[in-house]
């Protein structure tokens, strides 16, 4: 028999000074109404918990259930904004301006949802809320402890998301692995959550790793067994085990893991490598992950079989196109973090989305701009059909990016500049077309003669770094008669993360020389989009925004569509299919598939 969560909650609320239970929760919350799937990692980090969790969430979403993800990070940073891409991959920015972990991008793309600050939590946020509450007397004189107050705050965050999203199931991903010191209180909070919410309210999924050393030629499960045992020592009995491996995990290995974990053999699954993350939902469905979660959480009555059939047909249409590409192009990524592919995770996915839509496989060429010069740019870009100059900060690699942009502009190589790449495109054009010798950015050379890129006015009074940039979604007014207008119409909403802008006094001379600023802020003279006329260049486009953050499998971002299309025409001169910059939405695709 499960506990009565409502009775516990009422006791904690009515007589907080006479009970050991501490259950902070938002108004309207009822224990057991929302279900939780908790995904934890063992053995090692980097196994793809975010990809797995988002794929499993999509399987339930396709069944007609509403889902909401949350990522719990152990580090003490308040957000991901100050993290170096070399250490933690890209910083993903949500529409509300939250700077968060790249896994939030995986959730947005897989679930086709715009997430918010409620979907991301760090230890820094948890401790800040606890300490702020203590300073204002919020604990009624009690000594504030890790249990129940800090763990209670973790559960409070999950419950806030449950109420705000009205989700049937909240997916909780805990970063890192079991055994990490900073994760201990998160794991304890999940144990308490299962106790307080009652039977069949929480499903624990352990993602583990099965080793397959080349020297042995067989799979070894001991590390997986020990990792799961460590989880059980924390008081958590997994209900499902997902075994990551390079190749399908053998029946013998799964039997060993089942024996040592008390998990039935039919709920120990193989999750081996596949060509694309967008094939994983079908892999999970075929293995029975979704059925196992539904059974554990007693959600059978909420499943909509007709909705599932319709949504699976749409997704299957996408994966069929993903696997049946007929052409190939190469796009160069000209950046300074090229040694860490995760630094450009969303760009990689945006190119994949555009490629699937156009029936082309996009191969990537990684070009470190710290070594590129005007003399070597042509050689570095000789084998690519298009290039991207991605976002960055600081001076390292800047001149190499400018050299690449000069080559692309002067030779007709399709090019897309993103954020810092937008700024470098302005600098290159000012130097080599407008004859502004030494033109630069205040960030790179504060004493340059032509500071065509300068600090945003509101940034000049800011001293701190964390969360102080121009962040999140902003509307952009688009100039009629431009390529941008063909892409978006009169207005578009894009996501930003920057401190610098085009210096307003140089806008007129730049435009007089042929640069087209086709998108700007509706409230200030801040340039957001630039392009060259297609009469002089097949595709030369740049944006101060980060368009990669809003690309989705079913609705590829138009700027990436334009780049891949131009690259395709460069690689295959006889290719003449027209391009629709605004492809059908997922809903329109569902209608089309249903009609066919």
Active site residue ranges: 419, 546, 548
For 225, the enclosing helix (H) or strand (E) is: helix 222-233
- Residue 289 in contact with residue 243, Cβ under 8 Å? no
Q: How far is CA 581 from CA 70, 478, 557, in A?
A: 32, 15, 8
Sign of the Cα torsion 147, 149, 155, 157 reads negative
Matching residue, tokens 């945003």: 456
C-alpha–C-alpha distance, residues 17 and 165, integer Å: 31
Helix (H, G, I), strand (E, B), or coil: what is residue 328?
strand
Rounded Cα distance, 396 and 79, in Å: 25
Pair of tokens at residue 343 = 């630094």
Which two tokens mark 422?
Answer: 């937008």
d(CA 278, CA 291): 19
| Rounded to 5°, angle at Cα 269 from 265 and 271 | 165
| Residue 247: how many other CB atoms lie within 10 Å | 11
Enumerate long-range contacts of 462-467, CB under 8 Å, 24 or more apart.
465/81, 465/82, 466/77, 466/78, 466/79, 466/81, 466/82, 467/78, 467/79, 467/81, 467/97, 467/99
Nearest of 298, 69, 72, 296 to residue 203 by alpha carbon: 296
Q: Confirm if 246 and 273 have CB atoms less than 8 A apart.
A: yes
Crossing angle between the packed helical segments 184-197 and 151-165, to the nearest 10 degrees: 60
Q: Are 95 and 116 in contact (CB under 8 A)?
A: yes
d(CA 511, CA 523): 20
DSSP assignment of 99-132 equals: EE-THHHHHHHHHT----GGGEEEHHHHHHHHHH
- β-bridge partners, 144: none
Report the distance separating Cα 273 and Cα 245, nearest Å. Answer: 7
């Amino acid at each position: 028999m499960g506990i009565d969560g409502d009775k516990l909650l009422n006791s904690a609320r009515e007589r907080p000074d006479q009970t050991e239970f501490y259950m902070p929760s938002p108004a309207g919350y009822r224990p057991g109404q929302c279900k939780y799937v908790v995904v934890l990692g063992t053995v090692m980090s980097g196994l793809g918990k975010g990809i797995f969790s988002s794929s499993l969430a999509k399987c339930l979403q396709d069944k007609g259930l509403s889902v909401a993800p949350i990522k719990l990070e152990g580090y003490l940073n308040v957000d991901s904004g100050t993290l170096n891409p070399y250490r933690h991959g890209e910083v993903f920015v949500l529409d509300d301006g939250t700077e968060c972990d790249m896994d939030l991008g995986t959730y947005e793309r897989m679930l086709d949802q715009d997430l918010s600050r409620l979907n991301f939590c760090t230890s820094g946020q948890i401790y800040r809320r606890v300490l702020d509450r203590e300073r204002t007397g919020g604990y009624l004189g009690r000594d504030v402890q890790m249990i129940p107050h800090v763990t209670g705050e973790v559960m409070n965050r999950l419950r806030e998301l449950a109420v705000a999203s009205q989700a049937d199931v909240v997916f909780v991903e805990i970063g890192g692995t079991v055994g990490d010191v900073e994760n201990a209180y998160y794991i304890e909070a999940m144990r308490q959550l299962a106790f307080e919410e009652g039977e069949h309210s929480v499903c624990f999924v352990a993602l583990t790793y099965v080793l397959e050393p080349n020297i042995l030629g067989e799979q070894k499960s001991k590390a997986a067994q020990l990792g799961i045992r460590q989880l059980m020592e924390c008081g958590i009995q997994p209900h499902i085990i997902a075994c990551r491996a390079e190749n399908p995990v053998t029946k013998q290995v799964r039997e060993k893991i089942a024996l040592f974990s008390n998990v039935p053999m039919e709920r120990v699954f193989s999750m081996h490598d596949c060509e694309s993350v967008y094939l994983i939902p079908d892999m999970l469905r075929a293995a029975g992950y979704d059925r196992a979660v539904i059974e554990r959480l007693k959600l059978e009555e909420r499943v909509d079989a007709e909705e599932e059939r319709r949504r699976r047909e749409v997704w299957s249409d996408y994966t069929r196109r993903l696997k049946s590409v007929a052409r190939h192009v190469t796009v160069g990524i000209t950046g300074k973090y090229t040694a860490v592919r995760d630094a450009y995770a969303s760009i990689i996915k945006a190119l994949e989305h555009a490629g699937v839509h156009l029936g082309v496989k996009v191969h990537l060429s990684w070009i470190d701009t710290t070594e590129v010069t005007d003399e070597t740019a042509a050689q570095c870009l000789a084998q690519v059909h298009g290039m991207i100059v991605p976002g960055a900060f600081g001076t390292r690699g800047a001149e190499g990016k400018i050299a690449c942009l000069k080559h692309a502009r002067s030779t007709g190589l399709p090019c897309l500049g993103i954020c810092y790449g937008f700024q470098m495109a302005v600098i290159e054009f000012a130097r080599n077309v407008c004859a502004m010798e030494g033109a630069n950015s205040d960030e790179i050379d504060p004493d340059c003669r032509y500071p065509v890129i300068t600090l945003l006015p509101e940034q000049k009074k800011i001293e701190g770094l964390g969360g102080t940039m121009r962040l999140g979604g902003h509307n952009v007014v688009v100039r009629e008669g431009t390529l941008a207008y063909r892409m978006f119409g009169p207005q578009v909403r894009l996501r930003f993360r920057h401190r610098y802008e085009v210096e307003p006094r140089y806008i007129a001379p730049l435009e007089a020389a042929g640069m087209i600023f086709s998108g700007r802020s509706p409230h200030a003279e801040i340039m957001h989009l630039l392009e060259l006329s297609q009469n002089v260049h097949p595709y030369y486009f740049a944006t101060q925004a980060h368009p990669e953050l809003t690309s989705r499998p079913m609705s590829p971002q138009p700027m990436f569509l334009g780049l891949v299309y131009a690259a395709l025409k460069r690689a295959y001169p006889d290719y003449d299919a027209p391009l629709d910059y605004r492809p059908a939405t997922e809903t329109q695709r569902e209608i089309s598939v249903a009609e066919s």
